[in-house]
Chains A and B, each alone.
Chain A
Amino acid sequence: MDDLSWTAGLTKEQAGRYSRQVLVQDFGVNGQKNASTSKVLIIGAGGLGCPTATYLAGAGIGTIGIVDYDTVSLDNLHRQVAHREQAVGTSKVESLKIMLNSLNSSIKIITHEATLNSKCAMEIVKLYDIVCDCSDNAATRYLINDVCVLLDKPLVSGSALRWDGQLTVYHYGKEGPCYRCLFPSPPDPSTVTNCSEGGVLGPVVGVIGSMQALEVLKMVAGLPCSFAGKLFLYDGRSGSTRTIVLRKRSPRCAVCGDEPSITAPIDYELFCGAGAHDKIERIWLLEQNERVSVEEYRDIRRIARPLLIDTRPPIEFEIAHLPEATNITLNDLSKLDSAQITEKLKLNATENDQKKDLFVICHRGNDSQRAVKIIKEKGNFEFLSVRDVSGGYDEWATKVNPNFPVY
């Protein structure tokens, strides 16, 4: 009998590469064979996408798709550990593809360098069996959720901020809830903190991203998902974890309910009132005469030391600030009364009759405008001309002092 090319379960190469996971009870040969024919889409090649994609590539998922519009930046690297310094400024999906190919050349990596939106999402998602939401904003989360329900794909959703991480598997099984069943209304954009503002620790996204990959492996092996209909909460600071049992699918859900009102993707930026990205959007609250440019402020401070309020959180103030700045956060400005603010600034209203200049600065020029409004609404500051420094420290670093730390 000529049986030299015959294999019972795995090829020689598969057995050699994947033996340590094939030996795991309940995963086994069946799990490995299914993995090699599975197609998994990872949306977001950032902090969550890097570990999720890396472990799935290592495990031999046959086809991995990656969606991201962004380029790698230096401040990504502490947590987005699949990217390399040489990749800064280049496409995230290409950077991740290079890394995954170098880890496992036997699998197929498909890149989708695009902002996932209502037009392209259905076409992309339909190519895959399982979707991992590794995105960073509400509009994309609702879009991914709706598309997964419409195309009947399970959704492994992760999120992380600061010390905390969360994980849920949505739209899994007949009664599994979707994101909308739990959150029918999007958050007010002004209450959303993202990683650029709030920060996040690398190992926290590592934990959640790794767990997303593990949920996918259970799915492909035909094992029950641990977090379908459950919300896993991870507090990295205290080291504690909790699992919340969620509701079942809501019959009244707008997308997965019994009589859905959403039967095709909608305009998610309109629905959420925010862009499908985690970048800070510039606002314009003040009139032109209530603002100074960074160059104007540079010239003003050359003549005399101005009064400057820095509204950033103390931790950002500690990174870097101008020497004349007094740190009073936006929150404190709202809470303090006029007398307390006067005291903090060591102001003396009776010094002379001439109006004093008070400037406000922040990271990017949004909170400084809010602060000017707050100060003016307090009253009792008629002796002050209050203006903000347009563009904040970011613009100061770009146009005035390139040595000023940017973050």
Chain B
Amino acid sequence: MENNVKVNVLFFGKARELAECDCKKTSLPKNVKYEKLKELIFQEVVPELQSIEKACILAVDQRYVDQKRGFDPDEFQ
């Protein structure tokens, strides 16, 4: 899909243990707000991580993301 971008989701610590892999390839919308990104990761891409969702942090291109900063791959080009 044109509005999507291919990403590698990397897991660390407990997330790696629960996901049972270091990395998962997936496709995410090019522009997405933090809450939606969280929902996609924890509900659809790796639902195994639901039990640790509240204790997880997300980083895009090795930079922390939160409510103020969503996922916009253009920002990193």
- Which positions in A face B, CB cutoff 8 Å? 161, 164, 166, 182-183, 185-188, 190-193, 198, 233, 238, 242-247
Contact = CB atoms under 8 A, between A and B. Distances in A.
B62 A244 contact: yes
Given A161-B13, A164-B13, A193-B17, A186 B55 contact: yes
A183 B57 contact: yes
29 contacts: A161-B13, A164-B12, A182-B64, A185-B54, A187-B14, A187-B52, A187-B54, A187-B55, A188-B51, A188-B52, A188-B54, A190-B51, A191-B14, A191-B18, A191-B51, A192-B14, A193-B17, A198-B17, A233-B12, A244-B59, A244-B62, A244-B63, A244-B64, A245-B59, A245-B62, A245-B63, A245-B64, A246-B57, A247-B64
Given A185-B54, A187-B52, A191-B18, 10 more contacts: A164-B13, A183-B57, A187-B54, A188-B51, A188-B54, A191-B55, A198-B17, A238-B22, A245-B64, A247-B66
A340 B22 CA distance: 29
A185 B53 CA distance: 10
A356 B59 CA distance: 53
A182 B62 contact: no
Contacts of A186: 55
A247 B64 CA distance: 6
Contacts of B64: 182, 244-247
Contacts of B14: 187, 191-193
Q: How many of chain B's residues touch chain A, expressed as a range?
A: 10 to 19
Nearest to B55: A187
Contacts of A188: 51-52, 54-55
Contacts of B51: 188, 190-191
Contacts of A243: 62
Nearest to B20: A331
B57 A182 contact: yes
Contacts of A245: 59, 62-64
Contacts of A182: 57, 64
A78 B23 CA distance: 30
B62 A183 contact: no
A4 B40 CA distance: 73
Nearest to A248: B64
B36 to A, nearest CB: 19
A161 B17 CA distance: 11
A242 B52 contact: no
A183 B13 CA distance: 15
A244 B62 CA distance: 5
A246 B65 CA distance: 8
A273 to B, nearest CB: 12
**Closest 3 pairs (CB-CB, A-B):** A187-B55, A185-B54, A245-B63
Nearest to A187: B55
Given A164-B12, A193-B17, A242 B62 contact: yes
